[in-house]
Amino acid sequence: MEQPVAIYFFQYLPPWRIDVFNEMARHYQLTLVFWNTDRVGFMYNRDELLQLLNPDIEVIFLQSGISAGTHSVRIGITKIICHRKPRVVFCHEYAPISMQCVLIKLMGTCKFKLVITTSDNVQMASKANWPKRVARRLILRSADKLILYSKQVQEWYQKQFPFIKTAVCPNIQNPKTLLAYRELFAPIQKQYQAQYRLDGCNILLYVGRLTYVKGLDLLLTAFAHIRHERWRIVLVGEGEERDSLRRFAIDLGIADNVAFADFCSSQYLYAWYDLANCFVLPSRYEPYGAVVNEALVYGCPVLASKYIGALDLINDGNGMIFDPNNQGEFENTLSRAMQQYSCIEEIRENRMPYSFEECVSVYMQI
C-alpha cells in the first residue's frame, strides 16, 4: 500500500525533532521544508543532523522571501504543495508560513488536511501579544488538528478554542536512539572526571544556555546556602552570562564546587546525563525543556522549575518540581535531592513516563 504524502514546514532542524521526523517517515512520504535555518543562537552542526534523518525524507531549504527576526514570508510554498499533492500539511507555530498554507487551502488549489503544531506552554498561550492572538484564531479556524506539547496546555486550548481537535505529543526523542550512544561513554566520562576534578563527587547537572532567564544565579545562591563538599554543579553550555556566573560563584565562595563545561552535542552531551546524579532546570521561564526528556531517558532524576513546559514528564518517581523564585523552597528541594540521589544505580533505567511510539502516533491519526 502506497504511503500518503505529507509536508512539514518547520523553522530549522534541531536534534530533538529528528526521531519524530524519522517516525513520521515510516508512515508518510515525507518532505521537510525548513524556512529559518540561520536561526540566531543555533549551534548544532546541520550536516551531522541531516545525516541522522531517514534517507527517504526529502529535505528542502526555503530561503527566498522576506525575513524579520524569527518571522519569514517565503516564496515557493504554493509550488511545493501543488507539485507534491500532500494528504497532510504540518506547520509549526502561528507563523506567516502557516498563514500562507491556510490561504492555499482556502483557495482550493490543492486539497489537504492542515495540522498545526506549537511549542506553547500555558503562560505563552495565555499571554500572547495581539498579532499572535489574531494569527492564531485565523489559522486554527482553518486547521484540522492542533498538536501540543502537554496536557496542561491542551486543557487551556480546549477551553479557548473548543472548535479545534487537539492532541498531545511531548517534545521527546526515541529512547532507542539515545541509549545506543551508551557504549561510547566510558572514555568520555573518564576524561570529564579528570578534566573537571569530579572523581568521588556527586554531580548536579545543568545543560543549556547560560542566560538570565535560565535562573542559574538562583541555583548558585541556593547551592551556596546548603552546599555539601561532595557535590559539584556542572554547567554545560555557552551564553552571555558565563563570565558573570563565574564571578558570582567566586563571590559566593563556591567556585571550587562549580564547573563550567563547553557546549557539546551527541555522545559528548549524553555522557553527562549518564554521569550525573541528578539534573536541574531552574528556569524563570521555559517554553518546554527538551533536556528534561534527554535526562530522564538516561535515568537521571530531574529537578524542574514550575515555570517550564515539560512538567508532564515529571512525577514522584523521577524528580521534583519547585519554585526557583522561592529561595527557601529551592534550597529545600536541593537538600532533599542531595540526600535522595546521592547514590547512582549500577544500571539506570529509562525514567520517561510515556512511550515514544504512543506519543508520536498522534501525527499519523489525522
Are 81 and 71 contacting, i.e. CB atoms less than 8 angstroms apart?
Answer: no
What pLDDT shows up at residue 346? 78
* pLDDT score of 84 more than 70: yes
Q: Does 61 fall in a domain? A: yes
Mention every residue, 6+ apart, whose C-beta is less than 8 A from residue 185: 267, 270, 271, 274, 275
Spatial separation of the C-alpha atoms in residues 131 and 15, rounded to whole Å: 30
Tell me, yes or no, whether 67 and 188 share the same domain.
no
Mention every residue, 6+ apart, whose C-beta is less than 8 A from residue 316: none
Spatial separation of the C-alpha atoms in residues 263 and 282, rounded to whole Å: 18
Tell me, yes or no, whether 148 and 182 share the same domain.
no
How many C-beta atoms surround the C-beta of residue 165 within 10 A? 13
Tell me, yes or no, whether 107 and 67 share the same domain.
yes
Q: How confident is the model at residue 312 (pLDDT cuts 50, 70, 90)?
A: very high
Q: How confident is the model at residue 41 (pLDDT cuts 50, 70, 90)?
A: very low
Q: Does 249 fall in a domain? A: yes
| 3 state SS of 135 | helix
Per DSSP, helices labelled H in the chain are 18-24, 46-52, 77-84, 96-107, 122-126, 130-142, 151-160, 175-179, 185-195, 216-226, 242-251, 266-275, 290-297, 327-340, 356-360
Residue given cell 553527562 in the structure block = 272
Tell me, yes or no, whether 210 and 336 share the same domain.
yes
Cell of 340: 535522595
Q: Does 357 fall in a domain? A: no
Q: Does 263 fall in a domain? A: yes
Tell me, yes or no, whether 140 and 182 share the same domain.
no
Q: Does 303 fall in a domain? A: yes
Mention every residue, 6+ apart, whose C-beta is less than 8 A from residue 326: none
Spatial separation of the C-alpha atoms in residues 337 and 277, rounded to whole Å: 9
In this structure, what is the dihedral angle of CA atoms 59, 358, 298, 277, given to the nearest 10 degrees?
A: 130
92-108: per-residue pLDDT in tens?
Answer: 999 999 999 999 999 99
User: What is the share, in percent, of the chain residues with pLDDT greater than 90?
Assistant: 85
Q: How confident is the model at residue 45 (pLDDT cuts 50, 70, 90)?
A: confident
* pLDDT score of 21 more than 80: yes
Phi and psi of 35, rounded to 5°?
-120, 5
Spatial separation of the C-alpha atoms in residues 157 and 312, rounded to whole Å: 16
Mention every residue, 6+ apart, whose C-beta is less than 8 A from residue 116: 90, 91, 92, 93, 94, 98, 139, 140, 143, 145, 146, 147
CA angle 201, 244, 337 (to 5 degrees): 35
Tell me, yes or no, whether 191 and 217 share the same domain.
yes
Q: Does 352 fall in a domain? A: no
Spatial separation of the C-alpha atoms in residues 297 and 173, rounded to whole Å: 9
Tell me, yes or no, whether 268 and 147 share the same domain.
no
What pLDDT shows up at residue 229? 80
Q: How confident is the model at residue 14 (pLDDT cuts 50, 70, 90)?
A: confident
Tell me, yes or no, whether 239 and 326 share the same domain.
yes
- 346 vs 357, which has greater pLDDT? 357
Q: Does 145 fall in a domain? A: yes
281-297: per-residue pLDDT in tens?
Answer: 999 999 899 999 999 99
- 227 vs 12, which has greater pLDDT? 12
What pLDDT shows up at residue 43? 61
Cell of 129: 501579544
What pLDDT shows up at residue 141? 97
Spatial separation of the C-alpha atoms in residues 193 and 261, rounded to whole Å: 12
Are 254 and 275 contacting, i.e. CB atoms less than 8 angstroms apart?
Answer: no
Domain termination site, one of 168, 194, 229: 168
Q: How confident is the model at residue 254 (pLDDT cuts 50, 70, 90)?
A: very high
Mention every residue, 6+ apart, whose C-beta is less than 8 A from residue 84: 5, 7, 31
Count how many Cα atoms sit within 13 Å of the Cα of residue 209 in the half-sphere of its side chain.
17
CATH number of the domain residue 45 falls in: 3.40.50.2000
Tell me, yes or no, whether 239 and 93 share the same domain.
no
Tell me, yes or no, whether 183 and 278 share the same domain.
yes
- pTM flag (> 0.85): yes
CA dist list (Å): 159 to 54, 131, 153, 165:
38, 20, 10, 12
How many domains would you assign to the chain?
2
Are 213 and 285 contacting, i.e. CB atoms less than 8 angstroms apart?
Answer: yes
What pLDDT shows up at residue 158? 97
Mean per-residue pLDDT over the chain, rounded = 93
Tell me, yes or no, whether 125 and 220 share the same domain.
no
Rg of the chain taking only CA atoms, in angstroms: 22
Q: How confident is the model at residue 69 (pLDDT cuts 50, 70, 90)?
A: low
What pLDDT shows up at residue 40? 46
- 42-46, 144-148, 274-278: segment of lowest average pLDDT: 42-46
Q: Does 349 fall in a domain? A: no
Phi and psi of 196, rounded to 5°?
-110, 15
Tell me, yes or no, whether 214 and 159 share the same domain.
no
What pLDDT shows up at residue 340? 95
Closest CA to 34 of 12, 67, 66: 12
Are 219 and 324 contacting, i.e. CB atoms less than 8 angstroms apart?
Answer: yes
CA angle 365, 99, 3 (to 5 degrees): 30
Domain that holds residue 203: 175-340
CA dist list (Å): 164 to 106, 116, 159, 247:
17, 10, 10, 50
What pLDDT shows up at residue 291? 96
